[in-house]
Amino acid sequence: TELSHIRNFSIVAHIDHGKSTLADRLIQSTNTVSAREMKAQLLDAMDIERERGITIKANTVRIEYKADNGEVYILNLIDTPGHVDFAYEVSRSMRAVEGSLLVVDSTQGVEAQTLANVYQAIDANHEIVPVLNKIDLPAADCARVAEQIEDVIGIDASEALQVSAKSGIGIHETLEAIVHRLPAPTGDAGKPLTAMLVDSWYDAYLGVVVLVRVMDGVLKKGDRVKMMQNGSIHLVDRIGVFRPAMQDVKELGPGEIGFITAQIKQVRDTRVGDTITHEKKGADKALPGFKPSQPVVFCGLFPVDAAEFEDLRDAIEKLALNDASFSYEMETSAALGFGFRCGFLGLLHLEVIRDRLEREYDIDLITTAPSVIYHIYMRDGTLVELHNPADMPDMTLIDHIEEPRIKATILVPDEYLGDVLKLCQDRRGIQLDLTYAGSRAMVVYDLPLNEVVFDFYDRLKSVTKGYASFDYHLMGYREDALVKMSILVNDEPVDALSMMVHRDRAEMRGRAMVEKLKELIPRHMFKIPIQAAIGGKVIARETLSAMRKDVTAKCYGGDATRKRKLLDKQKAGKKKMRQFGKVDIPQEAFINALKMD
Ligand code: GDP
Ligand code: MG
């Protein structure tokens, strides 16, 4: 295809503002798929995505559009994830296209993720077309939202499109705007091949599929290509485009987006952001590289039933095949036995993986307290990266500890501002900025990531009745007075519950934890002390009193089957529990004990 007849674009939006609905509408109105094949939210393939209404993997579709001027254009849409955890994935797909539709819900206005995503588009030098969506709703206020886009984002919104993705209003205008307002890609078919590796995933039938954007040169089936990062050579055995089903093509030229397969075994062998060139007469300079995405949140995943360890290993390996940003290694815990220490891009990512393990693979899991990576500076000058509080070195050997800090941007209606400031203050936040856009406040906070990973987002939603939006990025590491707090149940430390806390908050957290655990652990035949401690010093203590009666006592001398039935019933109730010494702790306790209210 001629470059002048190609348009590559992405859609940026805050979650729920209608990105997927608009994408579906563009696909449908160009007859890219037949009505029979059309199911709502075509681009959101996985069940979890569909249920939660979020898009996780970037997806791509090639649309052919005959414009009003009679010419046929190829429109390549790369759909990007909308959630904060996946900012890096957004940024790399942005580099593969020249323009963006900025979708803003005209009943809501600009939100935190609108800002975060649009800044990425601006960084990638995109031409941006604002789209005011949901104009079918009575609460739509296009004038106000257009003004907000100009004030807050600083881009011209005078020619913003007015659209209802749901009822199909303004879709034709959107297609025309893509053709006439977004730039065509540039590139030279005569130059050595440079293709950007945008994404890759594992397909059960095809093996690893690689999404590429060709910058210069031409990529063909049968080519021997080189991954420039590590020099590995692969034979391209299939090449095609997504419509959105895979369709083979002969070649991909400059400006085109499509996929290749090349007998690559694992997703890990493909580095996102890498440059693909030909083995012979290849380019000698790679495209400006991206940083690989790094896990920032870690937690342990253990099977409730130790017999399920092998199943868990299989399931984790399968998920990792398809998700290079998810890391794992085996971990053994005194209390929990064999499991895995896993790294995630953020909390949502953690939840998605945990959900998939439980639902798709049917494994009951114990999730230990999420933790960030601490930098422990030892007295002897060495640096230890601590991923797991259980591995904390002896305090006397430590010089100081640094923790990751984030810059968080929160947009919130005025009336909830006070609650938001209090929440951030409680989490050791430092206010950096506070501005207003209409009746909404935008606050920027410097916060410790460890105070955010657990339940900050949930708390924020609850104190603002769902009206606040939130986005963050890592800023770097800073020293603070951090200590490891251990939890002892029946005098035995439960390492899965140990956590790093700020010294000034340790007592409060410890008290809250032991009180919660007292509610969450069922009574036993004996009394159970529950303690929080720092080093050898107990800072909070509760005692769970003993159960009054043996439930089987009244069966003495009686009917043996009845007694067995009762015991079986007790056993079933314990299924989701793990034994720690003599104490059974239910699965939910591990997560719930950490929630602060
Ligand atoms: P995404 O999170 O940005 O992908 O948003 P979705 O496309 O999943 O849409 C979120 C919700 O808004 C869904 O319930 C859609 O049906 C609804 N929605 C999307 N576009 C419109 C629209 O133009 N009008 C109305 N009334 N609802 C819409
Ligand atoms: Mg969506």
Residue to probe by mutation, ligand 1, list 15, 16, 117, most atoms within 8 Å of CB: 16
407 pocket-lining for ligand 1 (C-beta < 6 Å): no
52 pocket-lining for ligand 1 (C-beta < 6 Å): no
**How far is CA 399 from its chain centroid?**
34
How does DSSP classify residue 57? S
Neighbours of ion ligand 2 (CB under 5 A): 20, 55
Q: How far is the CA of 166 from the centre of ligand 1 (A)?
A: 7
53 pocket-lining for ligand 1 (C-beta < 6 Å): yes
Ligand nearest to the CA of 58: 2
- Distance CA(81)–CA(202), nearest Å, equals 18
Q: What is the reported pTM?
A: 0.70
What does the pLDDT profile of the chain (597 residues) look like in tens digits?
Answer: 799 999 999 999 888 899 989 998 998 888 766 655 555 555 554 444 445 444 444 478 999 999 999 999 999 998 776 565 666 667 778 889 999 999 999 999 998 888 878 888 888 899 999 999 999 999 999 999 999 999 888 899 999 999 999 999 999 999 999 999 999 999 999 999 999 998 888 777 788 889 999 999 999 999 999 999 888 999 999 999 988 788 899 999 999 999 999 988 877 778 778 899 999 999 989 887 655 667 888 889 999 888 999 999 999 988 887 677 788 999 887 767 899 999 988 777 888 888 889 888 999 888 887 889 999 999 999 999 998 888 899 889 999 999 999 999 898 888 999 999 999 999 999 999 999 876 788 999 999 998 888 778 778 888 988 788 887 888 899 999 999 999 999 998 888 888 899 999 899 989 999 999 999 898 988 999 999 999 889 999 999 998 876 555 554 455 566 656 655 555 554 456 667 778 888 867 776 776 655
19 pocket-lining for ligand 1 (C-beta < 6 Å): yes
Summarize pLDDT for 21-49 with one digit per residue, the tens.
999 899 888 876 665 555 555 555 444 44
Residue nearest to atom 17 of ligand 1 (CA): 18
| 166 assigned binding-site residue | no
356 pocket-lining for ligand 1 (C-beta < 6 Å): no
258 pocket-lining for ligand 1 (C-beta < 6 Å): no
How does DSSP classify residue 164? B
Residue nearest to atom 18 of ligand 1 (CA): 18
Residue nearest to atom 14 of ligand 1 (CA): 16
Residue nearest to atom 11 of ligand 1 (CA): 16
How does DSSP classify residue 415? G
Q: What pLDDT score does 54 carry?
A: 44
| 21 assigned binding-site residue | yes
Ligand nearest to the CA of 133: 1
Q: What pLDDT score does 506 carry?
A: 92
261 pocket-lining for ligand 1 (C-beta < 6 Å): no
Q: Which helix (H) or strand (E) holds 560?
A: helix 560-573
13 pocket-lining for ligand 1 (C-beta < 6 Å): yes
Q: How far is the CA of 500 from the centre of ligand 2 (A)?
A: 35
Ligand nearest to the CA of 131: 1
- Distance CA(298)–CA(370), nearest Å, equals 5
Q: What pLDDT score does 4 carry?
A: 96
Do 112 and 470 contact (CB within 8 A), yes or no?
yes
Q: How far is the CA of 68 from the centre of ligand 1 (A)?
A: 27
Q: How far is the CA of 15 from the centre of ligand 2 (A)?
A: 7
Residue nearest to atom 22 of ligand 1 (CA): 134
20 pocket-lining for ligand 1 (C-beta < 6 Å): yes
Q: How far is the CA of 562 from the centre of ligand 2 (A)?
A: 54
Q: What pLDDT score does 288 carry?
A: 79
| 239 assigned binding-site residue | no
| 19 assigned binding-site residue | yes
193 pocket-lining for ligand 1 (C-beta < 6 Å): no
For residue 24, the ligand 1 atom closest to its alpha carbon is 7
Closest by CA position to 295, among listed 350, 368, 340, 339: 350
Summarize pLDDT for 328-369 with one digit per residue, the tens.
999 887 767 899 999 988 777 888 888 889 888 999 888 887
| 20 assigned binding-site residue | yes
Residue to probe by mutation, ligand 1, list 12, 14, 21, 29, most atoms within 8 Å of CB: 21
81 pocket-lining for ligand 1 (C-beta < 6 Å): no
Q: 211 - beta bridge partners?
A: 199, 259
Residue nearest to atom 2 of ligand 1 (CA): 16
Full DSSP string of 451-469: HHTTTHHHHHHHHTTT--E
- Distance CA(267)–CA(265), nearest Å, equals 7
Q: How far is CA 105 from CA 132, 134, 150, 293, 574, in A?
A: 6, 6, 15, 30, 47
Reported residue count of the chain is 597
Q: How far is the CA of 415 from the centre of ligand 1 (A)?
A: 26
21 pocket-lining for ligand 1 (C-beta < 6 Å): yes
14 pocket-lining for ligand 1 (C-beta < 6 Å): no
Terminal Cα distance for the chain, rounded? 58
117 pocket-lining for ligand 1 (C-beta < 6 Å): no
Structure tokens belonging to residue 257: 């987006």
Full DSSP string of 467-481: --EEEEEEEEEEE--
Closest by CA position to 385, among listed 343, 325, 340, 429: 343
For residue 163, the ligand 1 atom closest to its alpha carbon is 23
